[in-house]
Amino acid sequence: MRKETKCIQAGYTPSNGDPRMIPIIQSTTFKYDTGEAMGKLFDLEADGYFYTRLQNPTNDMVAAKICALEGGTAGMLTSSGQAANFFSVFNIASAGDHVISSSSIYGGTYNLFHVTMRKMGVEFTFVDPDCSDEELEAAFKPNTKAVFGETLANPAMIVFDIERYAKAAHAHGVPLIVDNTFATPINCRPIEWGADIVTHSTTKYLDGHDATVGGAIVDGGHFDWMAHADKFPGLCTPDDSYHGITYAEKFGMGGAFITKATAQLMRDFGSTPSPMNSFLLNLGLESLACRMPVHVSNAQKVAEFLEQDERVTWVNYPGLASNKYHALAEKYMPDGTCGVVSFGLKGGRAAAESFMSHLKLAMIATHVADAHTCVLHPASTTHRQMSDEELVAAGVGPDLIRLSVGIENAEDILEDIKQALDSLE
């Protein structure tokens, strides 16, 4: 199946008389005829469901669709993108371990790594995604367990050189984890470039309608845990909390990572999505392949318009030929990147605030990456506790306007931007 077909068909094939649509199995628990039959499930000796905190059929069917789109071997849903990124790292790195992360990542992920996981004893080194090979090499330590980056960094829109980072990670016997939220598997499939684990905030384009918060993890199935068994005892030695199972032996390269994340982390942290939310996520996925090209073409028109307007001081969109990351974007995302464009206006912070207050169609919202065009001025909202100097250091200058271009008619979006710019004078 090609990606457009997978959006519709993957993850669920109804049998004779079954519902055509992925059914919502809104049940906490599942019934068995004998205790013995249920015991086999607890021992991971048989496939089946017993309690929705660990696994639920609706969630699994939707996870299987995302897994198929990414070209992976196993997948799971989580209740948020935060939970997905936390699980993806904590599944293989715990107290005393070290992880290398791109410094240009979503702010919530940076906090998770830099503050919360640090409190849990996991140490992080943040590297500039454009650092030299020597700098990257120097970041590795004997206790490094993973490398992490975002295909398209939110909000800096830096394109992560997946192939380069995968090679470096593999040379040190550790996997590369890539957050593919902004590109989506329609525009980039990191596993094809060497990534081992792919994560998503499905809250963004995968849902695409501002309806549900959620996350996903997909295993590419190419990383040989057993070949680096000393680094990954959690996967390669018996799990006493799970009946002595050795995940990498029993479930192999294709299944060990997701089985462990489900059996241990989901069991203990309970970051389970509601089946109803997964049903809504699936509705979004069905139209993903239709929506992404519209986001890309609308954003391209907006970026090109802004670039030639004299009231605009700078525009950041990898689809522009003038963009620093244009060549990398063409390599990893030949069909385009996403709908998020950032820019600054002459008149800086004050002009940004005035411009936004005059927008009529583009609404002010913290959200990004969905069907509705929305806009955010980080300096006066999400980053308002920072001084102008701190904002510049964080790559989110006081003039930065983040515009998430939706799938309305491009002319309507452009007219809205034009009238808001005209009202500045």
Ligand X SMILES: *Cc1c(COP(=O)(O)O)cnc(C)c1O
Residues that bind ligand X (CB under 6 A): 80-82, 85, 106, 108-109, 150, 154, 179, 181-182, 201, 203-204, 213, 215
Q: What is the largest CA-CA distance in the chain?
A: 76
The rounded distance, in Å, linking the Cα atoms of 262 and 281 is: 20
CB 359 within 8 A of CB 416: yes
In the complex, the smallest distance separating the C-beta of residue 222 from ligand X, rounded to whole angstroms, is 23
- The answer to whether the peptide bond before residue 57 is cis (omega within 30 degrees of 0) is no
- Which residue type occupies 405? V
The two beta strands, 374-376 and 401-404, are antiparallel
- Shorter beta-carbon distance to ligand X: residue 109 or 264: 109
Least distance to ligand X, CB of residue 293, Å: 20
CB of 381 to ligand X, least distance (A): 15
Type of residue found at 54: L
- What whole-number distance in Å separates Cα of residue 120 and Cα of residue 106? 20
And the tokens for 319? 């689809």
Task: Tell me how far apart the alpha carbons of residues 75 and 198 are, in angstroms, rounded to a whole number.
Answer: 9
- Please say which residue, 55 or 85, places its beta carbon nearer to ligand X: 85
Cβ proximity of 269 and 312 under 8 Å: no
Instruction: Give kind and range of the element (H or E) at residue 269.
Output: helix 267-269
Give whichever of 85 and 342 is closer to ligand X, judged by the CB atom.
85
**Residue 218: strand, helix, or coil:** strand
Cβ proximity to ligand X: between 207 and 239 the closer is 207
Q: Closest by alpha carbon to 200, among 81, 117, 358?
A: 81
Q: Which of 291, 325, 106 is nearest to 186 (CA)?
A: 291
Minimum gap (Å) between residue 291 Cβ and ligand X = 16
Shortest distance, CB of residue 288 to ligand X, whole angstroms? 16
d(CA 106, CA 150): 8
Q: Which residue lies nearer to ligand X by CB, 259 or 282?
A: 282
Name the minimum Å distance from CB 208 to ligand X.
13
By beta-carbon proximity to ligand X, the closer residue of 205 and 257 is 205
* CB 387 to ligand X: min, Å: 25
Considering the complex, state which of residue 23 and residue 107 has its C-beta at the smaller distance from ligand X: 107
Output the smallest distance, CB 17 to ligand X, in A.
36
Between 113 and 193, whose beta carbon lies closer to ligand X?
113
Cβ pair 225, 253 in contact under 8 A:
yes
